[in-house]
Amino acid sequence: MLYIGNHTSSSKGYEAMAKQMIKNGGNTFAFFTRNPRGGKAKDIDPADVEKFRILIREQGFGKLVAHAPYTLNACAAKENLRVFAKETMAEDLNRMELIPGNYYNFHPGSHVGQGTQIGIEKIADVLNTVLTNEQSTTVLLETMAGKGSEVGGTFEEIKEILDLVEKKDKMGVCLDTCHVWDGGYDIADHLDEVLEEFDRVIGLKRLKAIHLNDSQNEMGSHKDRHARIGEGKIGLKALARVVCHPALEGIPFILETPNDDDGWTAEIALLKDQYAAGLEKRNL
Ligand code: FE
Ligand code: FE
Ligand code: ZN
């Protein structure tokens, strides 16, 4: 089963987001838990959430991948920024219980000159503060491009964070194809080897979601500029192999490509075709 959708820009409520995704041909999606640049979260309408839950159950949606605001920096040097990160994540995780059992993805953060090791420890500290035994949400660390002082640009750094988290069963990883490519992992010509490396360093059972993006830049550029599927340096063939890879079967694929709904509709249709063709090949 292929679960695919896009990061929806809609902010008209949960039911509206799901309806838009059905229009786009998708069966999962991502959304910001609040304004991507931070700020207060909107009040949730319980009637909207109820309609939404019925709709996605009927339509057989895969797990959703909520995204924390970009401004959240769990390893900021300034304490007030780390307090903001803790408060925001704790509040978001609380709200996520209205739609239980889904994913909450966040960027590990930027160490802003403190060094990677300090960054890793601070990120783990935030997670050890906010994770609860009661939560049904799995929190995902996103693999990063290693731009500037970003932490999480290598599988090793992600693994080091996970090692320091106490409630490991609440944690997973979201692999962003643009980010790992920009980070120096050759998913275009050596996908099997990259996934083997992921398995060796982190463990494939921790891989819970894929952000499916092409990249405007060369492998190892550490830039993080997403391109539409097939319009970047990774290319359609390679991204289709990602979608069809047996090791990634059943996990949600989220497009974060620079598009409008028409563009995402076309990309979703294209990748569904590629998946169907890949399945046929596998079954020969
Ligand atoms: Fe992201
Ligand atoms: Fe991403
Ligand atoms: Zn990105």
pLDDT in tens, 144-198: 999 999 999 999 999 999 999 999 999 999 999 999 999 999 999 999 999 999 9
Ligand 2 centroid vs 67 CA: distance in angstroms? 9
Q: Is 226 one of the annotated binding-site residues?
A: yes
* Upper half-sphere CA count for residue 179 (Cβ side, 13 Å): 24
Ligand 3 centroid vs 58 CA: distance in angstroms? 32
Residue 42 DSSP symbol: P
Q: Is 67 one of the annotated binding-site residues?
A: yes
Q: Over 70: is that where the pLDDT of 235 sits? A: yes
How far is the CA of 62 from the CAs of 2, 3, 79, 183, 283, in angstroms? 9, 6, 37, 28, 23
| pLDDT single digits (tens) 25-75 | 999 999 999 887 777 888 889 999 999 999 999 999 999 999 999 899 999
Indicate the burial class of 134 (C-beta count within 10 angstroms; 0-12, 13-18, 19 or more): exposed
Give the Cβ contact number of residue 126 at 10 Å.
26
How far is the CA of 97 from the CAs of 73, 85, 104, 166, 212, in angstroms? 23, 19, 11, 21, 26
The mean pLDDT value of the chain amounts to: 96
Which residues place a Cβ less than 5 A from the ion ligand 2? Answer: 176, 211, 256
**Which position has the token pair 């990677």?**
116
Q: Is 179 one of the annotated binding-site residues?
A: yes
Measure the CA dihedral 185/257/228/108, to 10°: -20
Ligand 3 centroid vs 80 CA: distance in angstroms? 25
User: Nearest bound ligand to CA 176?
Assistant: 2
Indicate the burial class of 254 (C-beta count within 10 angstroms; 0-12, 13-18, 19 or more): buried
**CB neighbour burial string for 101-120, b if at least 16 within 10 angstroms, e if fewer:** ebbbbbbbbbbbebebeebb
Ligand 1 centroid vs 152 CA: distance in angstroms? 12
Model confidence band, residue 283 (pLDDT cutoffs 50, 70, 90): confident
Ligand 3 centroid vs 224 CA: distance in angstroms? 5
Measure the CA dihedral 201/107/239/28, to 10°: 110
What's the predicted TM-score (pTM) here? 0.97
Ligand 2 centroid vs 94 CA: distance in angstroms? 23
Q: How far apart are CA 152 and CA 176, in angstroms?
A: 11
**Which position has the token pair 């060369």?**
218
Of 154, 160, 209, 156, which is closest to residue 182 (Cα–Cα)?
A: 154
Ligand 1 centroid vs 106 CA: distance in angstroms? 6
Give the Cβ contact number of residue 43 at 10 Å.
7
